[in-house]
């Protein structure tokens, strides 16, 4: 139920262009799950989604950091139980890609490159599907960035 509600908020943002509506829903869910002390899967997925609807990159970074911290508490059994089609390792490339983008936007190319490399190191956990291509394309885009790209 919680993951379905998070997906509803993601749809509000991505498909209907309503980030404020998504932010409000995510804030209610965040309170309901107990914030950072909630189920790590819910914390990870919700924080990852909440980051995407922030207007301020510093707030986005905080939410992305929360998502990464929660991922560290997850098990493959827990994500499988929830019906997530990836092992925990498959979550890390996206989490690190988002952190890299935040650091790039904040003018910290060193930290951005660090997270690009962490994302790249975990890319083998992704399949050759739409999600995997999305993450690989994001990494390629950052590689082309003059401040973050491969040296």
Residue 149 has pLDDT above 80, yes or no: no
The answer on 79 and 47 residing in a single domain is yes
Question: What's the chain's length in residues?
Answer: 151
Q: Which burial class, exposed, middle or buried, applies to 72 when counting CB atoms under 10 A from its CB (0-12, 13-18, 19+)?
A: exposed
More confident residue, 151 or 53: 53
Q: What is the pTM of this model?
A: 0.92
**What's the mean per-residue pLDDT of the chain?**
93
* Mean pLDDT in residue range 15-30: 89
The answer on 95 and 77 residing in a single domain is no
Residues 89, 107: Cα–Cα separation, whole Å: 28
Residues 105, 59: Cα–Cα separation, whole Å: 12
The angle formed by the CA atoms of residues 30, 42 and 32, to the nearest 5 degrees, is 30
The answer on 72 and 14 residing in a single domain is yes
Residues 10, 15: Cα–Cα separation, whole Å: 8
pLDDT the model gives residue 105:
95
Express each pLDDT in 101-141 by its tens digit.
Answer: 999 999 999 999 999 999 999 999 999 999 999 999 999 99
pLDDT the model gives residue 150:
60
The answer on 137 and 80 residing in a single domain is no
């Amino acid at each position: 139920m919680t993951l379905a509600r998070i997906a509803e908020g993601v749809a509000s943002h991505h498909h209907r262009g309503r980030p404020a509506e998504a932010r409000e829903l995510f804030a209610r869910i965040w309170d309901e799950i107990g914030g950072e002390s909630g189920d790590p899967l819910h914390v990870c997925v919700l924080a990852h989604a909440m980051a995407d609807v922030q207007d301020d990159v510093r707030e986005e970074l905080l939410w992305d950091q929360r998502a990464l911290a929660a991922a560290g508490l997850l098990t493959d059994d827990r994500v499988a139980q929830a019906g997530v089609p990836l092992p925990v390792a498959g979550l890390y490339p996206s989490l690190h890609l988002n952190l890299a983008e935040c650091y790039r936007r904040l003018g910290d190319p060193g930290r951005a490159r660090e997270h690009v490399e962490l994302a790249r190191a975990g890319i083998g956990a992704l399949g050759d599907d739409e999600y995997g291509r999305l993450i690989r394309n994001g990494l390629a885009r950052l590689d082309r960035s003059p401040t973050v790209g491969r040296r």
